[in-house]
Amino acid sequence: MADISGGIDPWLAGEPEYKQPPNPANVGDRNRTWGIRPDLFDSLNKVMPKKATIDELLKQAQDRLEDSKKFLAMAEDAQKHALASLQESERATEKAEQAIADSQSSRIQSEQAVKEAQKAVKASSDALQNSEDALLDGRYAREDAARARSYSESAQKDAAVARTNADGALKDARAASEQAAAADLKSDEGKQIAIAANTKAIKATDDAVEALTKASQANSNSISALERATAANDESSRANAKAIEATNKALQATNTATEANSLAIEASNKSVSALEQATAANTKAIEATNQAVAAVTSASTANTKAIKATNQASDAIARSVNLLFVQNHGSLYMTRVLDLRAGVTQPLTWGGVTGKMIGCHTGTFNDGGTYISFESPGDWEVRARVMMPPETVLSVGSSTTRLDVQVRDAPNGTWVTRSAQSANDGFSETLEVCTIVHIREAGGYAYVSAYISKDSSKLFDNTRAGEQFTEFSVRQLSRTSEIQ
Residues 262 and 154 in one domain: yes
In the chain, which residues have pLDDT < 50? 1-9, 12, 15-30, 327-328, 394, 462-463, 482-484
Residue 439: its pLDDT value, please? 94
413 & 471 share domain: yes
Rounded distance, CA 481 to CA 321, Å? 11
Same domain, 53 and 90: no
What pLDDT score does 223 carry? 81
Instruction: Tally Cβ neighbours within 10 Å of residue 192.
Output: 11
Alpha-carbon gap, residue 429 to 469, rounded angstroms: 11
- Residue 121: the pLDDT is 74
269 with 336, same domain: the answer is no
Does residue 359 lie within any of the structural domains?
Answer: yes
Query: Residues 275, 355: one domain?
Result: no
pLDDT of residue 53: 66
CATH at 263: 1.10.287
Whether residue 176 is found in the same domain as residue 136: yes
The answer to whether 373 and 387 have CB atoms below 8 angstroms apart is: no
- Which residues, at least 6 apart from 251, have a Cβ–Cβ distance to it below 8 Å? 124
Q: Which domain holds residue 341?
A: 10-61+320-479
Q: What is the pLDDT of residue 460?
A: 59
Residue by residue, DSSP assigns 71-99 as: HHHHHHHHHHHHHHHHHHHHHHHHHHHHH
CA distances from 125 to 118, 250, 391 (A): 10, 7, 142
Q: Are 240 and 145 in contact (CB under 8 A)?
A: no
CATH number of the domain to which 25 belongs: 2.60.120.40
On whether both 360 and 282 belong to a single domain, the answer is no
- List pLDDT tens digits, range 386-423: 887 776 554 555 678 899 999 999 999 999 999 998 87
Is there a single domain that holds both residue 20 and residue 89?
A: no
DSSP string, 105-157: HHHHHHHHHHHHHHHHHHHHHHHHHHHHHHHHHHHHHHHHHHHHHHHHHHHHH
How many angstroms separate the CA atoms of 398 and 353, rounded? 35
Q: Is 204 exposed, middle or buried (0-12, 13-18, 19+ CB in 10 A)?
A: buried
- Alpha-carbon dihedral of residues 110, 111, 115, 121, nearest 10 degrees? 50
Domain membership of residue 309 (yes or no) is no
CB 331 within 8 A of CB 469: no
Residues 213 and 287 in one domain: yes
The number of distinct structural domains making up the chain is: 2
Other C-beta atoms within 10 Å of 300: how many? 14
99 with 221, same domain: the answer is: yes
Cβ count near 118 (within 10 Å): 14
